[in-house]
Amino acid sequence: MAAPDKRRPTLFAVEIRTTRWDDLVAWYRDTLGLEVLLRVVDDRYALLAAGSARLAILGREATDPASRRWSLGFEVTDLAVVRAQLAARGVAAPEPTANPEGFRELVVIDPDGNRIRLFAWSDDHRY
């Protein structure tokens, strides 16, 4: 692996601000299976790992509403297994749809109304 380019920033984490901190931390941990790296209850801060990416959840007294301008995209190995896990936790997960770019995906909504895209590449398409 090449050494990092000191002229370019490195994305540390995507942050979600929420008034429902406990609910959101539990949902990403228990429903999506992300690993909690750090949880500071007094500060209402949690840092979760999703593969090599990180998601920070920050508790706030007030936040803006969820936006359809962005979504979190999670690559998974088997959409059928993930869909079954979501359904077992009461999450409405539609049938996956095929995308012409070579993957299948399904979109769910987290407890705050944020769009979560779960996708799996077909065998002959890989990023």
Give the integer Cα–Cα distance in Å for 28 and 32: 5
Q: Are residues 50 and 20 in the same domain?
A: yes
Q: What percent of the chain has pLDDT over 90?
A: 84
> Could you report the per-residue pLDDT of 69-114, keeping only the tens digit for each?
999 999 999 999 999 999 999 999 999 999 999 999 999 999 999 9
**Residue 100 belongs to what domain range?**
71-127
Q: What percent of the chain has pLDDT over 70?
A: 94
Q: Are strands 14-18 and 53-59 parallel, antiparallel or unpaired?
A: parallel
Exposed, middle or buried, 48 (CB in 10 Å: 0-12/13-18/19+)? buried
In a domain, 109, yes or no: yes
Q: Are residues 124 and 90 in the same domain?
A: yes
> Could you report the per-residue pLDDT of 6-55, keeping only the tens digit for each?
888 988 999 999 999 999 999 999 999 999 999 999 999 999 999 999 99
Q: Are residues 58 and 87 in the same domain?
A: no
Rounded to two decimals, the pTM is 0.88
